[in-house]
Structure 1
Amino acid sequence: MSVARAERLVNLVLCLLSTRQYLSAERIRSIVPGYADAPSDDAFFRTFERDKTELRELGIPLEVGRNKVDDPVDGYRIARRDYELGEIDLEPDEAAAVALAVRLWDSPELTGAAHGALLKLRAAGVDVDESAPTAVESKVRTTEPAFGPLLAAVQAGQAVSFDYRKHNPVEVRARELEPWGVVSWRGRWYVVGHDRERSAPRCFRLSRVVGEVRKVGRPGQVHRPDDVDLLRFVASSSGEPQVSPAVKLWVADGRGAGLRRWATVVERREVDGVPGDVVELELAYPDTAAGWIAGYGADALVLEPDVLAKAVRERLLAAAEGPEWLARPEPAVEGNGVAR
């Protein structure tokens, strides 16, 4: 579903929930964002019919009726009594599943609702452990071009070759892999399989795959061993330790105001003859702060943790190789000063 269509459906649901009267199609067209752009009446009615069908398939109770007997056309509304859920009594394992879903809600619009759900669970006497390990990772992103070809190769049981960029030392080498699976670990995608050159299992980060993924041999020749836990293998071989929420940075004097806003100065230090402060910053998701910190260039240096320092270096190297500079978005900050 396109973003525009999803936004239009959300707007339509909100509109029909906020009224007790039946709204005609023309009335909906005039007040719901997304319908006014229809080039003709026929185009609007076709779009509106598709949207009504979509809502019904999603299980949303769309009522059709007329406010008065002499109304010329039917109208539409959504009755709150049919739309809203009643009281829910969750078992401990069900509450744990809700807590897991909360961890996957990353957008600022959902964060407040997610934490509100946890508060209600705890108020009901349910012990919810957000820090418990899980096989499901949050902050999943699939923007890497290699994702589709590698996943297709896994499904087809076909070997692949690709160029892979190492970060230390920086070099690009050809790899030939019998892929077993593609998994997400700490917000990054990895492919796991048998490396033919090394004759051993290996994992490769998709963001470091350079160029196209090439097929090797015939489909159906690659089979994943039954005793291999892909996620556990990536966790043990990726070289990325569990990251503490505390991040230690060096920031040059008179620089990095956005970093200093949420940080605590712990000591003075010079780096390459440049005076500055060593600061500590609490980040809920340190792995995803690399782009923000890299935007400060030489004015900020990550001291701890090492995984974040490596991620920042990779961003800076990528920026130096390409014409586009990195954006520097400010992270969302909770009321207690913890940035996300």
Structure 2
Amino acid sequence: MAEKSERLLNLYIMLLAQTRFVSKQDIRRAHYGEYADNPRGDEAFEKAFERDKEDLRELGVVIEIGSLDHYFDDEQGYRISPDTSSLPEIRFEADEAAVLGIAARAWEQHTLARATTEAMRKLAAQGVEIDTSRLDLVPPSLRAEEPAFDACWDATQKRRVIAFDYRRPGQAATRRQLQPWGVVRSSGRWYVVGHDVDREAERVFRLSRVQGKVTALGKSGAYAVPPGTDVKAIADRLVHSTPDIDATVLVRQRAGVALRRSATSIEEDVTGPDALSAWDRLGVTGQFRDLVNAVLSLGPSALVEGPHELRSDVLARLAEVAR
């Protein structure tokens, strides 16, 4: 059976993308085929269809009911009018528009494109006249570049356990098994949140640190997300629970303005890795990830002296770029 979220999306697209009312039987053949082999299929379909219509209405979708034939009223059909689905004009302040522009990059993901394509394919197979321009009401425009995103997102929808190799900064990759509860964005990064099977505790994993392929294990519906779980709150709490670290970084003079501004100490005119310029030694404190990014952004104008794990992560990142 298709996941309910996918079925609702397909139903919404089907009713929105055509130019006439769609019969209940066409809807059933397109999206409720699993009830065909059920001895009580008619009753099961009616109940599922009514639930799905009610769910769409709770989301603010207006489903119109009308006659399939201009001359006879004996059979009714369904559709969604673009006029009732489009948003009124919304104006944002400059800072709000900037935030939305950044957020909008997250869903330009072929996961949703697949759902739309599948709905269109089913409509075309039935000879239904469609108008794809009606789908331009809210064009997707968000991107998630991590290769692990699709597999993790799919597993959260199907409630399947996943396994993957995960590398923490300065450490070798380890095998992890997770019951994923959700995929969220926090502090500009994508994370998968869930129950770590081996450690018997909730955990959050940054998708950019997942190594190789994410493998789905077992059947769908293998677990339930605890009631009241807020994956965004969990991600924010666990991501920011990492304590700050102290580090020592050599920086060329006249470089690293931002790093110098936050430095806890600056020792000028020290011996550096080359004689192309004078160097300063900076004592800095911050989150591991932020310090790595700050050093990498300076290229050959910065060198980490310590701690070892920070230096190792910077070197590993540079090695990946070189490869």
TM-score range, shorter chain: 0.3 to 0.5
Instruction: Output the TM-score relative to the length of structure 2.
Output: 0.46
Higher helix share: 2
Instruction: Output the TM-score relative to the length of structure 1.
Output: 0.44
